[in-house]
Amino acid sequence: MSSVLSADAVSFAYNGTRVVDSVSFDLGEGEFCALVGPNGSGKSTLLRVLLGLARPTAGAVRLFGVEPDRLKERWRVGYVPQRPALARDLPATVEEVVSAGRLARTGWRGRMRKEDRDAVAHAIESVALGHVRDRRVSELSGGQQQRAFIAKAFASQPELLVLDEPVAGVDADSQRRFRDSLTHLVDAHGAAVLLVSHELGAVSDDLDRVIVLKGKVLFDGTPDALAHTGVSLGIHREDLPLWLEGLK
Protein backbone atom coordinates (compact mmCIF):
# COMPACT_ATOMS: atom_id res chain seq x y z
CA MET A 1 0.00 0.00 0.00
CA SER A 2 1.54 3.29 -1.13
CA SER A 3 1.75 6.20 1.29
CA VAL A 4 -0.26 9.29 0.37
CA LEU A 5 0.70 11.26 3.48
CA SER A 6 3.62 10.84 5.85
CA ALA A 7 4.83 12.74 8.90
CA ASP A 8 8.35 12.12 10.17
CA ALA A 9 9.03 13.47 13.68
CA VAL A 10 6.96 16.60 12.94
CA SER A 11 6.98 19.34 15.59
CA PHE A 12 5.51 22.85 15.60
CA ALA A 13 5.87 25.68 18.10
CA TYR A 14 4.11 28.99 18.69
CA ASN A 15 6.36 31.64 20.24
CA GLY A 16 8.68 28.97 21.56
CA THR A 17 5.89 26.78 22.97
CA ARG A 18 5.73 23.38 21.29
CA VAL A 19 2.13 22.40 20.49
CA VAL A 20 2.92 19.45 18.22
CA ASP A 21 5.69 17.19 19.50
CA SER A 22 7.54 14.74 17.23
CA VAL A 23 4.51 13.27 15.45
CA SER A 24 5.18 10.41 13.04
CA PHE A 25 2.71 8.33 11.00
CA ASP A 26 1.97 7.19 7.45
CA LEU A 27 -1.45 7.18 5.78
CA GLY A 28 -1.89 4.72 2.93
CA GLU A 29 -4.13 4.59 -0.13
CA GLY A 30 -7.73 3.82 0.73
CA GLU A 31 -7.16 4.15 4.48
CA PHE A 32 -9.89 5.74 6.62
CA CYS A 33 -8.27 7.33 9.68
CA ALA A 34 -9.69 9.48 12.49
CA LEU A 35 -7.52 11.98 14.36
CA VAL A 36 -8.93 12.72 17.81
CA GLY A 37 -7.80 14.60 20.89
CA PRO A 38 -8.99 17.15 23.46
CA ASN A 39 -9.37 20.84 22.68
CA GLY A 40 -5.94 22.41 22.39
CA SER A 41 -4.25 19.11 21.60
CA GLY A 42 -2.75 20.44 18.36
CA LYS A 43 -5.05 18.70 15.87
CA SER A 44 -5.84 21.72 13.68
CA THR A 45 -2.24 22.92 13.88
CA LEU A 46 -1.02 19.50 12.78
CA LEU A 47 -3.43 19.53 9.83
CA ARG A 48 -2.10 22.91 8.70
CA VAL A 49 1.44 21.57 8.81
CA LEU A 50 0.49 18.37 6.97
CA LEU A 51 -1.19 20.39 4.21
CA GLY A 52 1.70 22.81 3.82
CA LEU A 53 -0.21 25.78 5.24
CA ALA A 54 2.44 26.09 7.96
CA ARG A 55 6.04 24.91 8.04
CA PRO A 56 7.09 22.47 10.77
CA THR A 57 9.56 23.63 13.38
CA ALA A 58 11.23 20.24 13.02
CA GLY A 59 10.66 17.07 11.03
CA ALA A 60 9.33 16.52 7.53
CA VAL A 61 5.99 16.04 5.74
CA ARG A 62 5.40 14.34 2.41
CA LEU A 63 2.23 14.43 0.29
CA PHE A 64 2.36 11.78 -2.42
CA GLY A 65 6.09 11.61 -1.89
CA VAL A 66 6.91 15.32 -2.16
CA GLU A 67 6.96 18.30 0.18
CA PRO A 68 3.47 19.86 0.37
CA ASP A 69 4.49 23.11 -1.33
CA ARG A 70 5.97 21.13 -4.24
CA LEU A 71 2.78 19.23 -5.01
CA LYS A 72 1.62 20.49 -8.41
CA GLU A 73 -1.61 18.50 -8.72
CA ARG A 74 -3.40 20.16 -5.82
CA TRP A 75 -6.71 18.51 -6.75
CA ARG A 76 -5.27 15.27 -5.35
CA VAL A 77 -5.83 16.71 -1.86
CA GLY A 78 -9.30 17.82 -0.73
CA TYR A 79 -9.51 19.91 2.44
CA VAL A 80 -12.54 21.02 4.42
CA PRO A 81 -11.53 23.37 7.27
CA GLN A 82 -13.50 23.64 10.48
CA ARG A 83 -15.12 26.95 9.51
CA PRO A 84 -14.72 27.68 5.80
CA ALA A 85 -14.39 31.38 5.08
CA LEU A 86 -17.53 32.67 3.45
CA ALA A 87 -18.28 36.25 2.42
CA ARG A 88 -21.59 37.44 3.84
CA ASP A 89 -22.93 38.35 0.41
CA LEU A 90 -21.26 35.67 -1.67
CA PRO A 91 -23.45 35.51 -4.80
CA ALA A 92 -22.49 31.96 -5.78
CA THR A 93 -25.06 29.18 -5.67
CA VAL A 94 -24.46 25.75 -4.16
CA GLU A 95 -23.94 24.31 -7.64
CA GLU A 96 -21.43 27.03 -8.54
CA VAL A 97 -19.43 26.52 -5.34
CA VAL A 98 -19.32 22.76 -5.84
CA SER A 99 -18.43 23.21 -9.52
CA ALA A 100 -15.41 25.24 -8.43
CA GLY A 101 -14.17 22.14 -6.65
CA ARG A 102 -14.43 20.17 -9.88
CA LEU A 103 -12.61 22.86 -11.85
CA ALA A 104 -9.72 22.58 -9.41
CA ARG A 105 -9.14 19.18 -11.04
CA THR A 106 -10.04 19.85 -14.66
CA GLY A 107 -8.66 23.37 -14.99
CA TRP A 108 -10.47 26.68 -15.37
CA ARG A 109 -10.33 26.84 -19.16
CA GLY A 110 -13.14 25.51 -21.28
CA ARG A 111 -16.56 24.16 -20.42
CA MET A 112 -17.22 21.25 -18.11
CA ARG A 113 -17.87 17.93 -19.76
CA LYS A 114 -20.72 15.59 -18.93
CA GLU A 115 -18.54 13.56 -16.56
CA ASP A 116 -17.67 16.77 -14.72
CA ARG A 117 -21.33 17.79 -14.41
CA ASP A 118 -22.16 14.29 -13.22
CA ALA A 119 -19.42 14.49 -10.56
CA VAL A 120 -20.80 17.82 -9.34
CA ALA A 121 -24.36 16.47 -9.19
CA HIS A 122 -23.17 13.36 -7.34
CA ALA A 123 -21.27 15.46 -4.81
CA ILE A 124 -24.31 17.65 -4.15
CA GLU A 125 -26.62 14.68 -3.70
CA SER A 126 -24.10 12.95 -1.42
CA VAL A 127 -24.55 15.71 1.16
CA ALA A 128 -28.33 15.97 0.65
CA LEU A 129 -28.36 19.47 -0.87
CA GLY A 130 -30.05 18.65 -4.16
CA HIS A 131 -33.16 20.61 -3.16
CA VAL A 132 -31.15 23.85 -2.66
CA ARG A 133 -28.60 23.48 -5.45
CA ASP A 134 -29.76 26.75 -7.09
CA ARG A 135 -29.81 28.81 -3.89
CA ARG A 136 -27.01 31.16 -2.87
CA VAL A 137 -24.75 29.59 -0.28
CA SER A 138 -24.96 32.77 1.82
CA GLU A 139 -28.73 32.13 2.23
CA LEU A 140 -28.25 28.69 3.77
CA SER A 141 -27.93 27.68 7.39
CA GLY A 142 -24.49 27.19 8.87
CA GLY A 143 -24.82 23.41 8.66
CA GLN A 144 -25.93 23.56 5.03
CA GLN A 145 -23.03 25.86 4.18
CA GLN A 146 -20.62 23.36 5.71
CA ARG A 147 -22.16 20.55 3.67
CA ALA A 148 -21.75 22.64 0.51
CA PHE A 149 -18.04 22.98 1.18
CA ILE A 150 -17.80 19.24 1.86
CA ALA A 151 -19.43 18.64 -1.54
CA LYS A 152 -16.94 21.07 -3.11
CA ALA A 153 -14.11 18.87 -1.80
CA PHE A 154 -15.86 15.70 -3.00
CA ALA A 155 -16.33 17.08 -6.52
CA SER A 156 -12.64 16.89 -7.40
CA GLN A 157 -12.63 13.20 -6.42
CA PRO A 158 -9.43 13.68 -4.38
CA GLU A 159 -6.99 10.90 -3.59
CA LEU A 160 -6.65 12.27 -0.05
CA LEU A 161 -9.51 14.01 1.75
CA VAL A 162 -8.75 15.90 4.97
CA LEU A 163 -11.66 17.16 7.08
CA ASP A 164 -11.52 19.22 10.27
CA GLU A 165 -14.69 18.77 12.39
CA PRO A 166 -16.87 18.58 9.25
CA VAL A 167 -20.16 17.52 10.88
CA ALA A 168 -20.22 19.81 13.91
CA GLY A 169 -23.81 21.02 14.25
CA VAL A 170 -25.07 18.84 11.40
CA ASP A 171 -28.22 16.75 12.02
CA ALA A 172 -28.14 12.96 12.35
CA ASP A 173 -29.64 12.26 8.92
CA SER A 174 -27.04 14.46 7.22
CA GLN A 175 -24.32 12.71 9.23
CA ARG A 176 -25.48 9.39 7.80
CA ARG A 177 -25.40 10.80 4.26
CA PHE A 178 -21.95 12.18 5.01
CA ARG A 179 -20.81 8.75 6.21
CA ASP A 180 -22.16 7.06 3.07
CA SER A 181 -20.37 9.53 0.82
CA LEU A 182 -17.09 9.08 2.69
CA THR A 183 -17.22 5.30 2.48
CA HIS A 184 -18.09 5.58 -1.22
CA LEU A 185 -15.04 7.79 -1.76
CA VAL A 186 -12.86 5.20 -0.02
CA ASP A 187 -14.41 2.04 -1.49
CA ALA A 188 -15.15 3.15 -5.04
CA HIS A 189 -12.33 5.61 -5.64
CA GLY A 190 -9.62 4.26 -3.32
CA ALA A 191 -9.18 7.62 -1.62
CA ALA A 192 -7.59 8.01 1.79
CA VAL A 193 -9.48 10.01 4.42
CA LEU A 194 -8.08 11.81 7.46
CA LEU A 195 -10.99 12.93 9.63
CA VAL A 196 -10.72 15.17 12.69
CA SER A 197 -13.93 14.96 14.67
CA HIS A 198 -15.37 14.62 18.15
CA GLU A 199 -18.47 13.04 16.61
CA LEU A 200 -17.27 9.63 15.46
CA GLY A 201 -20.44 7.64 16.13
CA ALA A 202 -21.59 7.88 12.50
CA VAL A 203 -18.31 6.43 11.14
CA SER A 204 -17.06 4.31 14.05
CA ASP A 205 -17.79 1.03 12.23
CA ASP A 206 -15.97 2.15 9.07
CA LEU A 207 -12.68 3.44 10.48
CA ASP A 208 -9.49 1.53 9.79
CA ARG A 209 -7.49 3.46 12.31
CA VAL A 210 -7.60 6.00 15.13
CA ILE A 211 -4.79 8.36 16.09
CA VAL A 212 -5.12 10.01 19.51
CA LEU A 213 -3.18 13.26 19.80
CA LYS A 214 -2.37 15.39 22.82
CA GLY A 215 0.61 17.33 21.59
CA LYS A 216 2.19 13.99 20.80
CA VAL A 217 0.69 10.71 19.61
CA LEU A 218 -0.75 8.78 22.57
CA PHE A 219 -2.38 6.01 20.54
CA ASP A 220 -2.23 4.85 16.92
CA GLY A 221 -4.12 1.71 16.02
CA THR A 222 -7.42 0.11 15.11
CA PRO A 223 -10.74 0.94 16.78
CA ASP A 224 -10.71 -2.59 18.22
CA ALA A 225 -7.32 -1.99 19.81
CA LEU A 226 -8.63 1.25 21.25
CA ALA A 227 -11.67 -0.63 22.58
CA HIS A 228 -9.31 -2.88 24.52
CA THR A 229 -8.26 0.21 26.47
CA GLY A 230 -11.88 0.62 27.58
CA VAL A 231 -13.10 3.02 24.91
CA SER A 232 -15.78 2.23 22.33
CA LEU A 233 -16.24 4.99 19.77
CA GLY A 234 -19.84 4.00 19.17
CA ILE A 235 -20.91 3.81 22.81
CA HIS A 236 -18.95 6.92 23.73
CA ARG A 237 -20.14 9.10 20.86
CA GLU A 238 -21.47 11.71 23.35
CA ASP A 239 -18.90 11.56 26.16
CA LEU A 240 -15.83 10.74 24.09
CA PRO A 241 -14.61 14.36 24.38
CA LEU A 242 -14.74 14.06 28.18
CA TRP A 243 -12.70 10.88 28.02
CA LEU A 244 -10.18 12.63 25.79
CA GLU A 245 -9.79 15.53 28.24
CA GLY A 246 -8.48 13.07 30.84
CA LEU A 247 -5.69 11.71 28.63
CA LYS A 248 -2.11 12.02 29.87
Domain span holding position 179: 3-245
Mean pLDDT of the region 121-130: 89
Q: What is the value of pTM for the model shown?
A: 0.86
Q: How far apart are CA 159 and CA 76, in angstroms?
A: 5
Model confidence at 169, pLDDT cuts 50, 70, 90, reads low
Of 138-147, 149-158, 218-227, minimum mean pLDDT range:
138-147
| 142, pLDDT greater than 80 | no
Query: According to the model, what pLDDT value does residue 58 have?
Result: 96
Cβ–Cβ under 8 Å, residues 225 and 32 = no
Instruction: Supply the CATH number for residue 160's domain.
Output: 3.40.50.300
CA distances from 233 to 82, 219, 220, 222 (A): 21, 14, 14, 11
Q: What is the pLDDT of residues 69-117, one digit of tens each?
A: 999 898 899 998 876 665 556 789 999 999 999 988 887 666 788 999 9
Query: How many domains is the chain built from?
Result: 1
Query: According to the model, what pLDDT value does residue 195 have?
Result: 92
